[in-house]
Amino acid sequence: MRPVARAALTVLGGIAAAGCAATPPDLPRAAAEPVATDAAEPAVVLRDPAITESSGLALGVVHPDVVYTVNDRGGGPVVYAVGPDGETVATLQVGGARNVDWEDVAVTADGHVLVADIGDNDAERADVTLYTFPEPEVLDDQTVRTVASRFRYDTGPANAEAVLVDPRTDRLCVVTKAEDGEIHCADEPLTTSGGSGRAPQVLRLVAAAPGAVTSGGYSPDGSLYALRTTRRVLFFSAWDARPVVVDLPAQPQGESLAWTADGLSVLVGSEGATSSVLHVAVPDQLLEPEADR
Sign of the C-alpha dihedral computed for residues 271, 277, 281 and 282 taken in this order = positive
pLDDT band of residue 16 (cuts 50, 70, 90) is: very low
Q: Are 105 and 116 in contact (CB under 8 A)?
A: yes
User: What confidence tier does 194 reach under pLDDT thresholds 50, 70, 90?
Assistant: low
Determine the pLDDT at residue 226.
95
Encode pLDDT of 86-110 as tens digits.
999 999 999 999 999 999 999 999 9
Question: Sign of dihedral through CA atoms 245, 246, 250, 253?
Answer: negative
Mean pLDDT, range 230-237, rounded to an integer:
92
Q: What pTM did the predictor assign? A: 0.86
Task: Give the residue, 204 or 73, on which the prediction is more confident.
Answer: 204
What is the three-class DSSP state of 286?
A: helix
Nearest to 237 by CA among 181, 284, 203, 171: 284
Mean pLDDT rounded to a whole number for the chain: 85
Q: Is the pLDDT of residue 81 over 50?
A: yes
Predicted confidence (pLDDT) per residue in 111-141, tens digit: 999 999 999 999 999 999 999 999 999 999 9
Is there a contact between 228 and 234 (Cβ–Cβ < 8 Å)? yes
Looking at residue 259, what is its pLDDT? 97
The pLDDT confidence band at residue 6, using thresholds 50, 70 and 90, is: very low
Is pLDDT at 66 greater than 90 in this prediction? yes
pLDDT for 285 equals 84
Q: How confident is the model at residue 239 (pLDDT cuts 50, 70, 90)?
A: low
Q: Where are the beta strands (DSSP E) in 77-186?
A: 78-82, 88-94, 102-107, 112-117, 128-134, 142-144, 147-153, 160-165, 172-176, 181-186
CB 284 within 8 A of CB 56: no
Calculate what percentage of the chain has a pLDDT beyond 90. 70
Q: Percentages helix, strand, coil for the chain, rounded to the nearest 5?
A: 5, 45, 50
The closest alpha carbon to 237, from 38, 245, 162, belongs to: 245
pLDDT above 70 (res 183): yes
